[in-house]
């Protein structure tokens, strides 16, 4: 039981760190003066990545529910 909790925490911390680094890099790049004319492209990329992240989260949640239902 403890191993499952530890694995879950490690997975969540790892994904949180990745998301934090990705967002900090993205916003650091967006607000640079030489990127001001490309803000639309970066914001489009950000919203596209956000949609992909939401889709992956929904798929992951659905997979967990189906695995629980299968048992």
- pTM metric for this prediction: 0.47
- Residues 22 and 52: their CA atoms lie apart, in Å, by 14
Tokens of 2: 């403890």
Q: What are phi and psi of 10, to 5 degrees?
A: -65, -40
State the total domains in the chain: 1
pLDDT digit string, tens, across residues 12-28: 777 777 888 888 887 78
pLDDT digit string, tens, across residues 27-69: 787 777 777 777 777 788 889 989 998 998 899 888 888 888 8
| pLDDT at position 4 | 64
Residue 8: which domain range?
A: 2-70
R_g over Cα of the chain = 17
| pLDDT at position 23 | 84
Cβ pair 35, 29 in contact under 8 A: yes
Instruction: Give the single-character DSSP code of 1.
Output: -
């Amino acid at each position: 039981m403890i191993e499952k909790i530890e694995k879950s925490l490690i997975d969540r911390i790892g994904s949180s760190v990745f998301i934090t680094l990705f967002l900090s890099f993205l916003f650091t790049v967006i607000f640079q003066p030489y990127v001001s004319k490309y803000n639309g492209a970066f914001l489009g990329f950000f919203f596209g990545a956000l949609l992909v992240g939401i889709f992956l989260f929904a798929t992951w949640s659905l997979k967990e529910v189906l695995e629980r239902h299968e048992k």
